[in-house]
Structure 1
Amino acid sequence: MTQRREFSGGMKGKNLRYLDEKRGEPSAHTRAGFLLIEHFSLPAFTQALDTIVTANLLRAKLFSSCTFGLQDGEVTSDLGLVIRPDARLEMLALKDLDLLVICGGYRTELKASEELIDILRTAAEQGITLAGLWNGAWFLGTAGLLDGYRCAIHPEHRPALAEMSKIAQVTSEAFVVDRDRLTASSPTGAFHMALEWIRGLHDNALIEGIEDILSFEESRYRRIKPAKNICVSAPLREVVKLMDANLEEPLELEQLAVYAGRSRRQIERLFQEQLGTTPQRYYLELRITEARRLLQHTELSQVEVLVACGFVSPSHFSKCYSSYFGYRPSKETRLVK
């Protein structure tokens, strides 16, 4: 049986985000509910929900989610798409929630029934974290649940919230996480708000993994640029960028030296001093990491992946893959929807 190889230098932390390592203690399960109010912002809602779903892709069953309406029946989003929530929001539903998100939108009417205000206040009393998307913060404010808190709301509704919640600090930020109140004024803000909420519950490796998957780059395939995630000197960063840009046809060390304006010996010393590895090994780990990302998050065949990542044959690719991940590439879990 082949002994597993460990990643070195800047690639170790990156791959630990994706490896399903067994942990001593099982992670707590967290439950999120989304209240969809008529004309809610579908992009803001999906950004927040997608962040939670992606966390589950990396570590199964961390979160569960459900949707609520103010009444029975369907709710129409700001894009005209109709959604039927899982249930009507009632007091009884609060016992199954850790987070309740109020999803508003540009055309959502700023009107809260006494029943909704009572539910929100009860949720706060029970220690449930409360969140508002787009103008969702207004509903928290009208229930008196933003007093003494910083918050974010869409600019269109900022004056109305500031007038009603005089003790709240209404900001112009895209999102605000203040203790047990989370608010976002835009779809992008909803993504970062959800990410910060998860950060408060789990480790940075999970957060960086979610970012790698959801923060698409210019290319069709690349999720991240590894050079951004390692703290190295400018000369070494230039070499790593060259490697990153040439995965399909890997450059020889002599070529890297010429393009970077350094000698081979200088490059070897930089890698050893700053990343604790050799250029050749780092290049291999960069390519095998990208190969796993492509297998998980695209529909490319194994042959297409090995070619895209500069491997000369299926057997060589399988051997390298197995040595790092403990199983053949054909056994990799596909996460594409």
Structure 2
Amino acid sequence: MNTNSKPRHFVFLLLGEFSQACFTCALEALRQGNRAVGYDAYTWAIAAEGGDMMSGSNGIEMKLHMGLDEVNRDDTIVVCGGLNIAQNTTKPIINWLRRESRKGVAIAGISTGSYTLAKAGLLDGRRCTIHWENHDSFEEDFPEVELLKTVYVIDGNRMSCAGGTSSIDLFLKIIADDHGQDAANWVSDQLIYNSPRTEKDGQRLSIPTRIGVRHPKLAEVIKMMEENIEEPISPSILAKDVGMSTRQLERLFRRYLDRSPKRYYMELRLQKARNLLMQTGMTVINVALACGFASPSHFSKCYRAQYNTTPYRERGSQMSGDS
């Protein structure tokens, strides 16, 4: 064990309303990594744009070590995102990331930090991931980035994880690559994290677990619905594809989900529409089209029935910062 080797230094860039959970999980993994190897293999600094403190989405403030200062080429920048990522991705931050990336600095985005990296053009032609709630809007905003639905992605010197405890998985991988799997396993045990996930694991619970029903045909139909929002599939075709009659499919949804297939499908489409309205600058008409509504008036009517407001008012409240 070479205790004289140079520590690997991480600069955690906290954006406004950052996710405290994701940031803390990453930091704790590094702290335990030092314990695992018996010396300070990892060091870190907390940075943000201006000021001495930065407040997370839970209101807790973190004391900063630095602002948007230059970092060393061997450092790793970790962009910690959270809520309202578009507003909290400022021009100075984008310019700083571009400047540091030109040195060849490794850069990671955790939680919604991938948005900031993509906005700076640092993920063009790369693979990445982002929190599932931001997946639809990210795809619309950055078609040049290959977006995956996994818990974390490593693509060269660009890394990303989806938020929450997924930063543990990413940093366990970093520790394993740096110091071996035994060290990573020790850290996992210390964090009482007994099911580490790989780069291939998905973010969300399985459909049966999410809906609380273990019915393979029902899960298959819901999967088809989720994958075909822009061009909805008729209930008769959905039923046929899983070897059922339309009436049997109706009974299945009524029995387990207390709604018709048509109603359930509509709720999925409206949820995606709401995400796009709240998280992107897409026009209401384009949001409607992206969610399978050919008529803006029909979209507005359905949206009002579901959320008791219109898409235009929803967009207006977002733009004024009331979301």
Deviation per CA, 1:273-303, whole angstroms, max 9, x where unpaired? xxxxxxxxxxxxxxxxxxxxxxxxxxxxxxx
User: Which of 40, 52, 62 is residue 41 of structure 2 equivalent to?
Assistant: 62
User: How many Å separate the matches in 2 of 1:25 and 1:62?
Assistant: 8
Q: 1-side partners of 2:191 and 2:142: how far apart?
A: 34
Q: Give a deviation string over 1:5-33, Cα, whole Å, max 9, x none.
A: xxxxxxxxxxxxxxxxxx36844410001
Displacement of 1:80? 1.3
Bigger-Rg structure (1/2): 1
State the TM-score, normalized to the length of structure 1: 0.54
The separation in 1 between residues aligned to 2:119 and 2:139, in whole angstroms, is 11
The sequence identity of aligned pairs, in percent, is: 24
1:113 Cα deviation from its structure 2 partner: 2.9
Task: Note if contact 1:32-1:64 (Cα within 8 Å) is conserved in structure 2.
Answer: yes
Name which of 32, 38, 47 aligns with 2:16: 38
Q: Which residue of the partner structure matches residue 79 of structure 2?
A: 102
Q: How does 1:206-225 map to 2 (within 5 A)?
A: 206-216=183-193
SS across alignment from 1:198: helix
Choose which of 163, 169, 172 in structure 1 pairs with 2:140.
Answer: 163
Aligned with 2:170 (options 193, 197, 205):
193
- CA RMSD in angstroms comes to 1.9
Which of 125, 144, 153 does residue 176 from structure 1 map onto? 153
1:72 aligns with 2:51: yes
1:150 corresponds to which residue? 127
Give secondary structure in 2 for the equivalent of 1:161.
helix
Residue aligning to 1:312: none
* TM-score, normalising length: structure 2: 0.56
AA of the residue aligned to 2:64: P
SS at match of 1:173: coil
Structure 1 gap ranges (5+): 1-22, 218-337
CA deviation after TM superposition for structure 1 residue 156, in Å: 2.5
1:123 aligned residue = 100
Q: How much has 1:84 moved relative to structure 2?
A: 2.0
1:88 aligned counterpart, secondary structure: coil
Letter paired with 2:50? Q
Instruction: Structure 2 unaligned segments of length 5 or more: list them.
Output: 195-323
* Residues paired across the two proteins, number: 193
Moved more, 103-112 or 199-208: 103-112
The match for 1:140 among 113, 117, 139 is: 117
The answer on 1:51 being equivalent to 2:23 is no
- In the alignment, the residues of structure 2 paired with residue 134 and residue 32 of structure 1 have an alpha-carbon distance, to the nearest angstrom, of 17
Deviating more after overlay: 155-164 vs 69-78: 155-164
> Structure 1: how far apart are the matches of 2:131 and 2:10?
22
Asked if the contact 2:112–2:163 (Cα under 8 Å) also holds between the matched residues in 1, the reply is no
Contact 2:73 2:105 in 1 (8 A): no
Q: Once the two structures are superposed, what CA deviation does each residue of 1:33-83 show, in whole Å capped at 9, x if it has no partner? A: 101111100000000000000011122110100100111132111111111
Residue 60 of structure 2 corresponds to 81
Displacement of 1:86: 1.2
Larger relative contact order (CA 8 Å, sep ≥ 6): 1
